[in-house]
Structure 1
Amino acid sequence: MTSLTGVITGTESMAERSYRILRDRLIMMDIAPGDPINEAQLAVDLDMGRTPIREALKRLEVDHLVVSYPRRGTFATGVDITELAAISEMRLVLEPLASRRAAEHRGGAYRGELERTMSAILSLDLSGDRRELMEYDLEVHRLIYRAAQNQHLQETLVRLDNLATRIWCMVLDRLPDLHGHIAEHATLIKLILDGDADEAEQLAAKHVIGFEKTIRSVL
């Protein structure tokens, strides 16, 4: 799971690396909602100049993860629970579509990665660290989006899932069945690998509905 560790694989620009690391810090609440973004400190932390960091922040503003104010600076956006319904409404349409497309391709070029991810989930200690489980949740979703082979669908879903995950992380310690939610991913991946598009679509929809119900149950 390279995107959450800061490890670079393959060819990656400094701006892309900066964007990826900052995005996941914001999603996982390592940068808390409302916190100021200190470009100088980030340049030191990430061992790079300010230009790639500024480019990354522009992208993150489009993703609704940071907000910039004239003469005040850039801040991590707040987490607005009232957005949950709108986010879920979109995901309920698009997540099943992505899973269906991924299943129609049987994972395509990502089949091997899906197989390895499924095996990793099945061997996870589901009673272990909740942050690690959330990192797997993010990575599984992103992998399925890539396997759908539709760049526009992928980009839209990544943004929506990022926002949904921030809401989830806000109540992470109070979630009653995080382990079952993560384990469900192994079943979804198996359906995709088997090419069972109908079942994959239905399980993805169930997954989104279950997510919203779980969040609302602890609010």
Structure 2
Amino acid sequence: MTATAPALAYGSLAEHAYHVLRDRLIMLDIAPGAPVNEAQLAADLGIGRTPIRESLKKLELDHLVVSYPRRGTFATQVDIKDLAAISEMRHVLEPLAARRAALVARADVRAELADKARQIGSMGDEPDDKRPLMEYDIDVHRLIYRAAENPHLEETLVRLDNLATRIWCLVLDRLPSVSEHIKEHVALLEAIVAKDADGAAALAASHVEHFEQAVRAAL
């Protein structure tokens, strides 16, 4: 998720920089409140500063960075008080995306969903390094949003999930089990693959509820 070579698969250097920086910010590789060093990022990614600046403008719209005149750009703080507002939106939109994915996902995307379910289902016990589990969670959600075939819904949910992930990363070391939360995705993915729209929506709602409960218990 933090590749440093300029890959044009995203469509442009600015888009590539956006995706790399977005993932560093949501995984707290760039700490909340920390300054964003444009020159260092440009050197890390092997690109000019102009694409970095373009990506930062988009990241500001995502509420992941904030820019101040004559001071620079900083990673936004993670405010636990945002959890209720984020969860309120996700309670409505996550089931909608799961339902749509079950109904309209293309065959190739449905195959990706099935493969992801198998990968998660074969996971072992809780690892010491929980980062791969977090990356699984991000991958699953982004795949479901894409499967829903609604770009406006996808864009909104990606932004909400990014903010939720930052909160989760903040309390990660205080959570008793991350793997159990990740394994909840198996039934959800299987319901989508099976075109069980009602089941998928119910499982998505339950997953969001369990996430909020787990974070609040860790606070």
Report TM bin, short chain: over 0.9
Q: CA deviation at 1:124?
A: 2.1
Q: Residue 38 of structure 1 aligns with which residue?
A: 37
**1:1-219 mapped onto 2 (5 Å cutoff):** 4-6=1-3, 8=7, 10=9, 12-106=11-105, 108-128=107-127, 129-219=129-219
CA distance in 1, matches of 2:157, 2:141: 9
The Cα offsets for residues 153-206 of structure 1, whole Å up to 9 and x where unpaired, read as 000000000000000000001112311110011111000000000010000000
Identity within the alignment, %: 63
SS of structure 2 residue aligned to 1:216: helix
Structure 2 gap segments, 5+ residues each: none
Aligned length: 216
Structure 1 gap segments, 5+ residues each: none
Q: CA deviation at 1:107?
A: 5.0
CA distance in 1, matches of 2:66, 2:160: 17
Letter paired with 1:110: V
Q: CA deviation at 1:12?
A: 2.9
SS of structure 1 residue aligned to 2:94: helix
Q: CA deviation at 1:116?
A: 1.8
Q: CA deviation at 1:109?
A: 3.8
SS of structure 1 residue aligned to 2:81: helix
The Cα offsets for residues 95-146 of structure 1, whole Å up to 9 and x where unpaired, read as 0000000011255441121122112111223412211000000010000000
User: What is the TM-score when the length of structure 1 is the normalising length?
Assistant: 0.95
